[in-house]
Structure 1
Amino acid sequence: MNPYLELARPLNCAMAAVGVVIGEILAGAHLSVQAVLAPIVAAIVCAGGNAINDYFDAEVDAVNRPERPIPSGRVSRKAAKRFALACFASGVFLSIFINSWCFIIAAVNSILLYAYSWKLKGTPLIGNAVISYLVGSCFLFGAAVGTRPAAAVWLFVLAFLANLVREILKDVEDVEGDAKAGLKTLPIVAGEKTALNVASVFSIALAVLTPFPYLDGVVSARYLYLACPAAAMIVAGALGARYGIFGAREGQRLTKLGMILGLAAFLVALA
């Protein structure tokens, strides 16, 4: 694979583009130049985020992932940084031709992706919140192209909370390795029990908010048939890990399944 393509991580970029398309569908976007351009812009900005992550993680990757483009010597750190900045600049520039909201989201996300890899990764809760926002913002980006963004905005809120729960559980799972790497994640700073309590609170908040897209009239009752079990899976993942029924690894996997089911709930409700 071309080393720059490897830096970009095509699968991650494709997933970001798909998230934008889902946001467009939920927001009732019609086929247009803007609707086609939006997922392309998201993929380009995502590529920049992946490349800048490799730039800042070069020393760690030299030990853990020596086959990556920078530690293997196929791309220099300077070239990787230039590639990342070029992706950010290109994505933000192209977003101008979509609309002002997409421009704002693309610019903010580019800054956050850089800041996350530079300083925010491994900081207690802040890093988790940033990455959760970035995941959910794909739906917002797509919604900005459509005419009825309410459903996608609700999806963003619920996706943010679900991903926040999963990120905290992942930090608990990775606590040993993160401590050796000098990271200051929530379970390292506040303890695993506190981190699991926080994850449980966010999961319950998600469960409380789950019916609101239906109550707000933006989705049909079909949404509840999948959304309620999805919320239950996410709560079970957090509480199960909190009370030692299973480990954090199993909890975050259950949360991930709940997230997939929750996404399906929105799509089924609009079918």
Structure 2
Amino acid sequence: MCLFLLTLQSVKRTTHRMERPALSAVTELFKPITWFPPMWAFACGVVASGVSLQERWWLAIIGIALAGPLVCATSQAVNDWFDRHVDAINEPQRPIPSGRMPGQWGLYLAIAWTGVSLLVALALGPWGFGAAALGLLLAWAYSAPPVRLKENGWWGNAACGISYEGIAWVTGAAVMAGGAMPGGESLALAALYSAGTHGIMTLNDFKAVAGDRQMGVRSLPVQLGVDRAARVACWFMVLPQVVVIGLLLHWDQPAHAAGVAALLLAQGVLMRRFLAAPSARALWYSGFGVPLFVAGMMVSAFALRGMA
């Protein structure tokens, strides 16, 4: 009898442990690879502010951590939870559909990380807290019903572009300036690169066309067809950068304008190859073309720093 009870307790302990996700599953849920864009955009805002890091370096570190491992990670957890049925078709190996994130742990982590993000954002003052709250609101609106912006690629991609690039850039600049509103030049660049990110977000949709069609998610490849959506994505990336080049020239920053132009030209070469086979090469273009896009962001930020 004693042996039976000991065995039963052992089984209960083992089952209890299995009901908790492994750290590797939690890390995969938060998708660290996606943290880079908002972290980079925040850093661009810091550079564009023209403020020395000497006395505010800790604000920059907290802001970069907030943009990536906190707010962006939260958005990924929220998205995976509300996309678990779609992922069961498109990416069954993901933590939730595979069962490695059991029960409602995905939802619990999304809620908990939302709270942690807001607490950390308090350290950045009203601007940082407000920006984090807005970013988190967009993250939940993007994935969660009844809003679920991602069900329409036009709105969903716009929300991501604003959150990942625009809000992060403006917040970085404002926090470094002691809460002052960034200048018109910085706001213009943040808006333009947010618009360009709409095209980048479309690249992520080519791998999920089959599941999106079945589940009623109207991504741009579903709405427009793969080839047309690829062309639209490219135009979304190209046109804002053309305007950026024009603005840099208008602001008497010809060297920086030339740098962005050279990066755009390189993107154009890669885009030709991407457009020949969008579904097969969307991930390839994300790996090689998008870094050129974000490099242009930093070049533009240094142009503003030189004007400060």
TM-score normalised over the length of structure 2:
0.71
- Alpha-carbon contact 1:7-1:54 (below 8 Å) kept: yes
Instruction: Quote the residue 2:78 is aligned against.
Output: 52
Q: 1:86 — aligned with what?
A: 112
1:144 maps to 174
Report the counterpart of residue 121 of structure 1 in structure 2.
150
Cα distance, 1:98–1:184 mapped onto 2, change above 3 Å: same
Structure 1 residue 171 displacement after superposition: 4.3
Q: Contact 1:233–1:257 (CA<8 Å) still a contact in 2?
A: no
Give how far 1:231 is off. Answer: 3.7
- Distance apart, 1:88 and its partner CA: 1.4
- Once residues 98 and 205 of structure 2 are traced to their aligned partners in structure 1, the CA distance between those partners, rounded to angstroms, is 28
* Partner of residue 263, structure 1: 297
Partner of residue 209, structure 1: 243
Question: Per the alignment, in what secondary structure is the counterpart of residue 176 of structure 2?
Answer: coil
Q: Pick one of 277, 284, 302 that aligns with 1:247.
A: 277
The 3-state SS of whatever aligns with 1:98 is: helix
2:35 pairs with 1:9:
no
Deviation at 1:112, TM superposition (A): 0.8
> Any idea what SS the aligned residue of 1:75 has?
coil
Instruction: Kindly tell me the number of residue pairs found equivalent between the two proteins.
Output: 267
* DSSP 3-state at the match of 2:263: helix
The Cα shift of 1:245 comes to 6.5
| Alpha-carbon distance change, 98 to 216 in structure 1, aligned in 2, over 3 angstroms | farther
C-alpha distance in structure 2 between counterparts of 1:220 and 1:36, whole Å:
29
> In the alignment, is the contact (CA less than 8 A) between 2:86 and 2:212 conserved in 1?
no
TM-superposed CA distance for 1:106, in Å, is 0.8
Q: In the TM superposition, what is the alpha-carbon distance from 1:6 to its structure 2 partner?
A: 2.8
Cα offset, 1:168, TM superposition: 3.8
Moved more, 65-74 or 138-147: 65-74
Please state which structure has a larger fraction of its residues in helix: 2
Is 2:194 the partner of 1:160? yes
Distance in 1 (CA, whole Å) between partners of 2:92 and 2:282 is 30
Contact persistence 1:162–1:255 (CA under 8 A)? no
Confirm or deny: 8 A CA contact 2:196 2:237 kept in the other structure: yes
Moved more, 19-28 or 108-117: 19-28
For residue 37 of structure 1, the aligned residue among 55, 62, 84 is 62
User: What displacement does 1:25 show?
Assistant: 2.0
Change in Cα spacing, 1:204 to 1:48, as seen in structure 2 (3 Å) is closer
Equivalent position to 1:21, from 37, 43, 54:
43
Give CA-to-partner distance per residue, 1:6-61, whole Å, 9 cap, x none.
32223333553343223212213434243332122223111211111121122333
Identity %: 25
Please report how far the alpha carbon of residue 259 of structure 1 lies from its aligned counterpart in structure 2 after TM superposition: 0.7
* Alpha-carbon distance change, 236 to 171 in structure 1, aligned in 2, over 3 angstroms: farther
- Which is further off, 107-116 or 4-13? 4-13
Distance between the aligned counterparts of 2:250 and 2:129, measured in 1? 28
TM-score normalised by structure 1 residue count:
0.79
Q: Which position in structure 2 is the counterpart of 1:73?
A: 99
Paired position in structure 2 for 1:223:
256
Is contact 2:42-2:169 (8 Å) kept? yes
Q: Distance in 2 between matches of 1:82 and 1:154?
A: 38
Alpha-carbon shift at residue 100 of structure 1 (Å): 1.8
Q: CA RMSD in A?
A: 3.4
> Which letter does structure 1 place at the counterpart of 2:59?
Q
Residue of structure 1 equivalent to 2:3: none
Q: Does 1:102 align with 2:128?
A: yes
- Whether the 8 Å CA contact 1:226–1:264 is kept in 2: the answer is no
2 CA distance for matches of 1:94 and 1:145? 14
CA distance in 2, matches of 1:59, 1:193: 26
Whether the 8 Å CA contact 2:249–2:257 is kept in 1: the answer is no
Structure 2: gaps of 5 or more residues: 1-21
Could you tell me how far apart the structure 1 residues matched to 2:135 and 2:47 are? 22
